[in-house]
Chain A
Amino acid sequence: MRVSLRWLQEYIDLADLTIGEISSTLTQLGLEVEGIELLAPLKGDVVVGQILKAVTHPNADKLRVCTVDVGKGEALKIVCGAPNARDGIKVVVARIGSVLPKDFKIKESKIRGEDSFGMLCSEAELGLSEGHDGIIELPADAPLGLSVSEYWQLEDTIIEIGLTPNRSDCLGIIGIARDLSARLKRPLRVPTLHPAWHKEDLDSTSKVRVQISSAQESLRFVALHVGHVTAASSPVWLQQRVQRAGMRAINLIVDATNYVMLETGHPIHAYDERDLRGGLIQVRRAHAGEKLKTLDGQDRDLHADDIVIADAEQAIGLAGIMGGANSEVKSDTQNIIIEVAHFNPSLIRKTAKRQGIHTEASHRFERGIDVERLAWVAQRVAEVIYLATQELKDKGQDLPLPEIASRWIDVESEARSIRRVTLRLSRLRKMTALPQIDGTEMTEILSRLGFKLAAETGDVYEFETPSWRQDIDREVDLIEEVVRVYGYDRIPVKLPRMELGALPEHPLIDFIDESKVSFAGFGLSEVITFPFMSGEDFAALGIDAEHPLAATVKLANPLVEHEKHLRSIVLTGLIKSLLENRRHGIQGAQLFEAARSFHEPRALPTEGLSPVWGHLKKQGAHISLRAHQDDRVLEHNRIAGLLDQPFTMKSWNQGEQAASFFQGKSLLLRYLRGFGIESLRFTPIEAKDFPWLHPGAAAVLWSQNSQFLGYVGELHPRTAKAYGLDFQNTPVVFELDLEAIQLASCQPASYASGSVKFPPVARDLALVVASTISYSDFERSFASFKQKKHLKTYRVFDVYQGTNIPAGKKSMAFSLQFQAADRTLTDQDVEKELEALLVHLKGDLSAELR
């Protein structure tokens, strides 16, 4: 809301305050000042002058050479092209050195051979209006030599106020003045009406009838007839006020409706009475298929929820939003009907959204207007039209004086009652921590804001709320009114006295942070990315419609049309970050992100879900059990990582190392070990579960009790290629289910076995097996070795295929350690067990000693 300080001062005396003081007072009232603009459109000598003599330019028929008296010094010679430049008229003279709006500097010049010492100005040149012919003719009594800025009060301060949506009353300057009057304890000066200007025998009801279809559309409608109006250009002050608020000056009638809207906050519309067919104004819903061309020239298809103003035949306005082109005020309009009405805020809001228009009127109607002052507003508009016409007439324009009907039409669709709200003084004092406020002070503040004390019983005060305050419903609203005027700065600073909290925190909250610290400790950088995915992302990952991760949550209004999916996999944010790094020439980025994935439970397959994706059906642990009962989408807490190539760069003490599956695996084991999670199982992936992973270089990670914990692997060459990455040396990626890991970390572990006193005995063993035998086959076989007595650990230290090993075979060499808790083992003990082990491995894996 742009408020002219000059205008504001018509309603409250602020002359003794600086703009800084006014601005901080407004901000402390909750009317936040967002900007202050000083208006000084004219610089230098732009003054009132008089053309003493205007003669035709010797070299140009259309130009005149004027001798202009500017009050002091010699008369100036000024060449002027305006047809109305003539002897005797008072004009606006921009003297040499002055600067007009748009940085137009006035210099001494020569026009078609004649010297010219200044310029005679039009309204357009002064920035007062758009495109007017001719120079300004000032009234004969304008004092010669006076600065035009002063004469027209062009200098002003615009205060830009950021209004919160509850304060519809401050969408009019009077509302702002009222708040100031309460805070500053100064009188509020509301304009008074002049019944004498109204024509006693003129009755609006003889001109038009008004019908409201129901209270759903409108609670009240006031219509006032004004006859003999002229849609002339408004006087300068009226144009200025409208323009300074950020609106366009159009003609006297439209400007007057806007002026009073800015003054009172109430939108107003004026119809050309000729265009109201059947002498009827109806407020109704639009008919099916009904169309309307609005004032902005747009043809609009109307919806059954739209409220329209219609005459006997057709819609003539989109109620509360914009008038229709078919009934607008035109240059030859003579009689008008002024509409000041109430419309259902929520329907206005819906229509404005649907039609994609936001107007000064719809902005105010959506927020609610003062239903009780409609007739006053209508008369005020009529009087501003009257006043402005009178002024033009006084300045010599040949205009009729408007005739204002003394009776207006007032249709109400529903009886309304005055709202009363009670306030306990004790509650006010307690809630605000301001025990010093007394009943008198409280009542004074509220009454300056327009509340009326209706009853008072001891501690309980009952107030009638002013009709312009839509936002006052209950006691706290009154408390806020009192305390914001009294001053938030006077509230003491203290701390609550409370019991110690006994609320448990969900362990996941800290676990996520601890996980981040772990990965950062391993050299990865945390990134935070937006959770939006596109269809291309799914295609690049190879996730088709059948895949459980295709059960996404979709935005109805995505920021970028194709990025409408909420991510069901955290990895894509990292891939995009990787691309960002590559764009900046950074190789070898190592990144991770902890974030939520989102899943649409309705789209998840009800059966046949792969065991790795079974956990998707569970709701996230961060959502309360109470909220689990809602019909809502699923969220999972995940952490994903990406290791770009190379893993380490070549350096003075080591060569370049590639990121490989095993680097990723090692990272995960270190991370999980940190939380005491061991006995993990890695199994090869099923390609259909993880189409974005290299099928031969990726694994699923399972907990001891077979919970899916996550996956790790090299990115599938196809996926890498789809993102424009090198498809031979793809990054290593992983993604973990933080909730499953947090649970696994809670599994009790025994650390009691401790250390053994007696020394271990070591033996190495190289075995030749079929190349299809995996390490995990050995793990299984070692675990099922029944004669095991002293074998404590085994560690593979060589895996070899090639020379000396038959085709289709490979050699795997193990370091074994034997140890007993009660004695030092002898060679015989060890040899015996080793022999049994070889027999077992031969039987189990066809392993031969190399």
Chain B
Amino acid sequence: MSEGKGSPLQETTSKVADIQLGLQHDLDALKTQLSPRAVEDLKVKYLGRKGQVTALMETLKSLPKEEKPAAGKIINELRQKLEGELEIWRQKAEDHALEQSLTQHKLDISLPVQTTTGQGSLHPVTLMRRVLLAEFRRLGFTVYDGPEVDLDFYNFSALNFKDDHPARDMQDTFFIGERAKTILRTHTSNIQIHAMMVEQAPLRIVAPGRTYRCDSDLTHTPMFHQIEGFVVDEGIDMGDMKGVIDRFLKAVFGQDLATRLRPSFFPFVEPGAEFDLQCVACRGKGCRICKQTGWLELGGLGMIHPNVFEAVGYDSDRYTGFAFGFGIDRIAMLRYGLADLRQLFEGNQQFLGQFPIHP
């Protein structure tokens, strides 16, 4: 390569240096007012059709033939370098511009968005029912369903309620006027009969639903919710009954709470009992909620009466089983700390809208 001063090649080299110097100067100036537009202007100034590098490239024509390749190489290198550098600056400028626009667009994210009166919610009884069913399914129970308006057979006589026996007075029954022996079910125990008349043992069934009694005061509503559960197989005993109800109550209310059974009477179970849970509010110390007893009476249970098995055609010597039933509404009130039962059924969205959708 020739190094003669004033040679065309040398001249090119010095022009390249001038351009680089000029660019450096321009870029320093750019830093203070970085914008995609300014970078674009520089691109035009140096690389555009009338730009400095393009002009330098034009001078190649006048160079001696033997110097053309070397000079051309130098100019091309300059071009590539400039392109690379300007691209970086273009990126920078765009980023800068984005940053700028982001800082200018700042929302008051605290502004409210709810425009409807209520928010979607499930009824506390539905939420509670879902919690209870999930727990029973974990224990291997299948959910069953049946009618709310039912025949006396399913609600009473197959459940060993004798005709004209005072046991029927335990439940104030709504009767259907134009039909004989038809009633609104007084409990979900009718599902025991419906299920056993169709299905074969072994059975582990729970049945939630609406139930009705002709009663209305501060602590009773004519419609309320119960869950019935029953287990039937060979060799089911009272220990199993105690275990299932204990396991279930602990799972729903807390492992540290005690449970207990007290003998009681329901025509469709024998031996019969009621089950209590240590008060969830005072943990057994005694408070207003448990009426100072330390216990909450939750429901009834017992070993399925052989008369019930016989009414549905099961072999009462071969099979034993237990059944239990309890109200959901009261448990929902305990769980959600509600004081007024009637509020559950008034449909006020201010009250009901507080509840979530998932338990």
Contacts and interface: CB of A to CB of B under 8 A. Distances in A.
Interface string A581-619: 100101111110001101010100000000000000000
Contacts of B349: 525, 527, 577, 581, 586, 589-591
Contacts of B179: 553, 633
B149 A501 contact: no
How many A residues are at the interface, by size bracket?
Answer: 35 or more
* Most-contacted residue by chain A among B116, B148, B242 (CB, 10 A): B116
B63 interface: no
A29 B117 CA distance: 54
B270 A28 contact: no
B357 interface: yes
Contact of B151 (A528, A576, A630): A630
B229 to A, nearest CB: 12
Contacts of B247: 495
B115 interface: yes
B167 A627 contact: no
Given A491-B238, A633-B149, A523 B120 contact: yes
B204 interface: yes
Contacts of B204: 496, 498, 501, 503
A648 interface: yes
B119 A523 contact: yes
A389 B5 CA distance: 156
A527 B123 contact: yes
A567 to B, nearest CB: 11
B353 to A, nearest CB: 5
B118 A525 contact: yes
Contact of A586 (B222, B243, B305, B350): B350
Interface string B87-104: 000000000000000000
Interface in B123-180: 123, 125-126, 130, 140-151, 154, 163-167, 169-170, 174-179
A648 B270 contact: no
A29 B121 CA distance: 45
A753 interface: no
Interface stretch (B16-24, B67-75, B191-199): B191-199
A842 interface: no
B111 interface: yes
Contacts of A553: 149, 176, 179
A577 B348 contact: yes
A576 B347 contact: yes
A524 B349 CA distance: 9
A654 B115 contact: yes
A789 interface: no
Interface stretch (B7-15, B25-33, B76-84, B257-265): B257-265
A557 B238 contact: no
Contacts of B261: 488-489, 491
A237 B143 CA distance: 59
Interface of B: 111-113, 115-123, 125-126, 130, 140-151, 154, 163-167, 169-170, 174-179, 182, 184, 194-195, 197-199, 202-205, 210, 214, 216, 221-223, 231, 233, 235-240, 242-244, 246-247, 260-265, 267, 270-274, 303, 305-306, 320, 344-350, 352-353, 355, 357-358
Given A433-B239, A477-B270, A529-B347, 10 more contacts: A431-B238, A432-B237, A488-B263, A491-B261, A495-B240, A499-B233, A503-B142, A574-B347, A590-B349, A591-B349
24 contacts: A28-B263, A30-B264, A345-B164, A433-B237, A476-B303, A476-B306, A488-B263, A494-B243, A496-B204, A498-B140, A501-B202, A503-B142, A506-B145, A509-B145, A525-B349, A525-B355, A526-B123, A580-B346, A586-B350, A589-B349, A590-B118, A598-B149, A649-B115, A649-B117
Interface of A: 27-30, 32, 164-167, 345-346, 349-350, 366-367, 430-433, 474-477, 479-480, 483-484, 488-489, 491-496, 498-501, 503-506, 508-509, 513, 516-517, 519-532, 553-559, 564, 566, 573-574, 576-578, 580-581, 584, 586-591, 595-596, 598, 600, 602, 620, 622-627, 630, 632-633, 635, 644, 647-649, 651-654, 657
